[in-house]
């Protein structure tokens, strides 16, 4: 009797388990991204790696970061298909690269470039306690003039 | 789907009430690489990210097949200041 019961219940149980697994299938990538962007002040999702970007837009972001001497965490979407789609869904932004500061999506290449040109990037970095190398350079120039 | 400069220009002008739109096809004709300049007062009071999100929403379908997309979003005031 017990055996019979178990046998008849088990398929239902197994089925519902499978279902719940499927509906949670996209949770891990979202959680993973959540952790990535919250654990680092500056995060760049890009094509390739900083030493070898594999797209001109990603390269532009790397160059901007280099100019400001920002240390950042970078993730190559070309080596992780889940991440490539997952990051677009996460930030509701259709393109790569994507830059996060303090867990907040800041923008892609165009926005970074314009923030760099307007000086806004220096301010945003300052807010999270990062001093841009461009600011340091500017200050030492002023020192010299004095 | 391959999009043309003229198609994108018309759509952006209409959907964003833009007073000036420049679309450049940077792709040598494959239709997957564009840069755009959009001047519209719909951008008034919106930070850069919100402006770009607005444009992305208008071109939601198109951006699925446009591989590279560069945008500049100005208000009429900013556009005039830049011209002078």
pLDDT digits (tens, 9 = 90+) for B36-67: 999 999 999 999 999 999 999 999 999 988 88
Domain that includes residue A106, residue range? 25-145
Q: Give the DSSP per-residue string, A70-87.
A: ---EEEEGGG-HHHHHHH
Answer whether B69 sits within 8 Å of A95, measured CB to CB.
yes
User: E strand or H helix at B36, and its extent?
Assistant: strand B33-39
A66-99 tens-digit pLDDT: 999 999 999 999 999 999 999 999 999 999 999 9
Counts of helices then strands in chain A (DSSP H, E): 7, 6
- The total number of structural domains that make up chain A: 1
Please check whether residue A86 is in contact with residue A33, taking contact to mean a CB–CB distance below 8 angstroms: yes
A11-58 tens-digit pLDDT: 555 555 455 544 455 568 999 999 999 999 999 999 999 999 999 999
Query: CA of A25 to nearest chain B CA: how many angstroms apart?
Result: 23
pLDDT at A83: 96
Query: Which band of pLDDT confidence, cut at 50, 70 and 90, is reported for residue B29?
Result: low
Please check whether residue B2 is in contact with residue B29, taking contact to mean a CB–CB distance below 8 angstroms: no
CATH assignment of the domain containing A82: 3.40.30.10
Per the domain annotation, does A111 fall within a domain?
yes
Closest CA in chain B for residue A120:
B48
In terms of Cβ atoms closer than 10 Å to its own Cβ (0-12, 13-18, 19+), residue B40 is buried
Instruction: Select the residue of A56, A57, A107 nearest B52 (Cβ to Cβ).
Output: A107
Per the domain annotation, does A114 fall within a domain?
yes
Per the domain annotation, does A55 fall within a domain?
yes
Per the domain annotation, does A36 fall within a domain?
yes
Alpha carbon of residue B41 to chain centroid: 13
Query: Which band of pLDDT confidence, cut at 50, 70 and 90, is reported for residue B73?
Result: very high
Boundaries of every domain in chain B: 5-77
Give, in order, the Cα–Cα distances in Å from A41 to each of A10, A38, A102: 47, 7, 5
Q: In the CATH hierarchy, which fold is given to the domain comprising B5-77?
A: GMP Synthetase; Chain A, domain 3 (3.30.300)
Answer whether B52 sits within 8 Å of A110, measured CB to CB.
yes
Answer whether A107 sits within 8 Å of B48, measured CB to CB.
yes
Per the domain annotation, does A68 fall within a domain?
yes
Residues of B whose CB is below 8 A from A109 = 70
**Is A57 an interface residue toward B (CB < 8 Å)?**
yes
> HSE (CB half, 13 Å, CA atoms) of B56?
20
DSSP state of B42: G
Closest CA in chain B for residue A58:
B68
């Amino acid at each position: 009797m017990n055996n019979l019961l178990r046998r008849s219940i088990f398929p239902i149980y197994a089925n519902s388990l499978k279902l719940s697994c499927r509906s949670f299938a996209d949770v891990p990538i979202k959680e993973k991204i959540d952790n990535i962007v919250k654990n680092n002040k500056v995060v760049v999702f890009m094509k390739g790696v900083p030493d070898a970007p594999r797209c001109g837009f990603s390269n532009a972001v790397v160059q901007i970061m280099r100019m400001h001497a920002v240390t950042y965490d970078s993730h190559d979407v070309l080596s992780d298909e889940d991440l490539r789609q997952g990051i677009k869904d996460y930030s509701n932004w259709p393109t790569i690269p994507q830059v996060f500061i303090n867990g907040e999506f800041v923008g892609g290449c165009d926005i970074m470039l314009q923030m760099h040109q307007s000086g806004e990037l220096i301010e945003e970095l300052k807010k999270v306690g990062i001093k841009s190398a461009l600011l340091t350079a500017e200050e030492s120039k002023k020192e010299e003039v004095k | 789907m391959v999009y043309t400069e003229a198609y994108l220009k018309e759509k952006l002008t209409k959907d964003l009430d833009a007073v000036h739109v420049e679309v450049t096809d940077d792709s040598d004709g494959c239709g997957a690489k564009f840069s755009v300049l959009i001047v519209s007062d719909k951008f008034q009071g919106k930070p850069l990210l919100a402006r770009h999100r607005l444009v992305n929403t208008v071109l939601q379908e198109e951006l699925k097949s446009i591989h590279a997309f560069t945008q500049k979003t100005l208000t009429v005031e900013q556009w005039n200041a830049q011209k002078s």
